[in-house]
């Protein structure tokens, strides 16, 4: 049961490990692109290429849908970024339970955006938790965990890609233990609970008045989507510029001031050098290429 790219490696790993997939559940196809043609989710597309039965209900709350789910007589349900609430009749249907790949070290960052929030908060590490699901929001017992560092150049995009493969391997390991009656799941501790609320596009504007470390974490936590941005006035126009990568450097100035010819921006404390930028309607590019077509002289103040 999954929807985005993040869930595909787990489905692939289950197939490679020899598990019989009795059904795949994914979000319904939705209009996308300029022509607004209906587009299959990544999991749906992958399932069809492997001749798997796919279901795309709008909800699992109805009795008929729940009856259809029970009819699969699954031993276990594997849930990865599915996007639908699983009511109790669904959770209770598989013989051995429902298991989730969650992209954080629970109980830290329960909720919708754990990858982004971990980076934005300046966490030094994060990881994946295999959890036995219950009715609460990511509150179920923890079965296996895997850890990974968050470095100075880690973005939400790069962390997403590493964690989706880590989670796939952990789920295969969890099912192997489950089949041997050796999977031990322990309750989550009450201490350390945090919630990763959904990313709101309104929080994407960069505040250079914050310390350089906070600015970097904000930029990297929102890269590549939705993308942290700033506004820049030039030639009687205001441009929205997204930043996908930056680094902390030495430097002082008024917050938002460009302090050299390499797009180093002063922050409330310290400075950041912008390394990858994107103008509206353009692709992301490095600083040197960006400045060839878009002058941002020293002394310019952003914000």
CB burial string 65-103: b at 16+ within 10 A, e below: bbeebeebebebbbbbbbebebeeebbebbeebbbbbbb
What is the reported pLDDT for 235?
79
H helices within the chain, ranges in order? 8-16, 42-49, 63-70, 88-91, 114-120, 156-179, 212-221, 287-293
Q: What is residue 35's predicted lDDT score, i.e. its pLDDT?
A: 72
Q: Give the up-direction half-sphere exposure of residue 118: CA atoms within 13 A in the CB hemisphere.
A: 33
Instruction: Tell me the CB-side half-sphere exposure of residue 106, using CA atoms within 13 A.
Output: 27
For residue 236, what pLDDT is reported? Answer: 83
Task: Give the domains, in start order, of the chain with CATH numbers.
Answer: 5-196 (3.40.50.170), 201-293 (3.10.25.10)
Successive 10-residue mean pLDDT values, the chain, 303 residues = 98 98 97 82 98 98 98 98 96 98 98 97 98 96 98 98 98 97 97 96 96 98 97 89 98 97 97 96 95 92 88
For residue 293, the model assigns a pLDDT of 83
What pLDDT does residue 32 have? 80
What pLDDT is recorded for position 296?
Answer: 94
How many other CB atoms are there within 10 angstroms of residue 277's CB atom?
24
**What's the pLDDT at 106?**
98
Helices then strands, counting H and E runs in the chain, come out as 8, 15
């Amino acid at each position: 049961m999954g929807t985005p790219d993040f869930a595909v490696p787990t489905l692939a790993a289950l197939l490679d490990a020899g598990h019989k997939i009795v059904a795949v559940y994914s979000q319904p196809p939705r209009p996308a692109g300029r022509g607004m043609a209906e587009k299959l989710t990544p999991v749906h597309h992958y399932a069809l290429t492997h001749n798997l039965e796919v279901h795309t209900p709008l909800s699992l709350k109805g009795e008929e849908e729940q009856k259809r789910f029970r009819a699969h007589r699954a031993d276990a349900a594997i849930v990865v970024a599915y996007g639908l609430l699983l009511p109790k009749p669904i959770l209770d249907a598989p013989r051995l339970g429902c298991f989730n790949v969650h992209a954080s070290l629970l109980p830290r960052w329960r909720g919708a955006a754990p990858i982004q929030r971990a980076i934005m908060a300046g966490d030094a590490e994060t990881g994946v938790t295999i959890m036995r699901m219950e009715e609460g929001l990511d509150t179920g017992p923890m079965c296996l965990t895997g850890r990974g560092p968050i470095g100075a150049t880690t973005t939400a995009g790069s962390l997403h890609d590493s964690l989706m493969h880590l989670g796939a391997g952990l789920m295969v390991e969890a099912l192997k233990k489950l089949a041997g009656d050796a999977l031990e799941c322990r309750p989550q501790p009450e201490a350390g609970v945090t919630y990763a609320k959904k990313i709101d596009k309104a929080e994407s504007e960069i505040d250079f008045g914050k310390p350089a470390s906070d600015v970097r974490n904000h930029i990297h936590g929102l890269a590549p989507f939705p993308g942290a941005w700033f506004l820049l006035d030039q030639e009687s126009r205001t441009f929205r510029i997204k930043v996908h990568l930056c680094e902390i450097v030495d430097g002082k100035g008024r917050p938002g001031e460009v302090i050299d010819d390499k797009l180093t921006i002063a922050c409330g404390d310290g400075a950041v050098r912008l390394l990858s930028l994107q103008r509206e309607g353009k692709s992301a590019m490095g600083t040197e290429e960006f400045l060839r077509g878009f002058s941002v002289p020293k002394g310019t103040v952003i914000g």
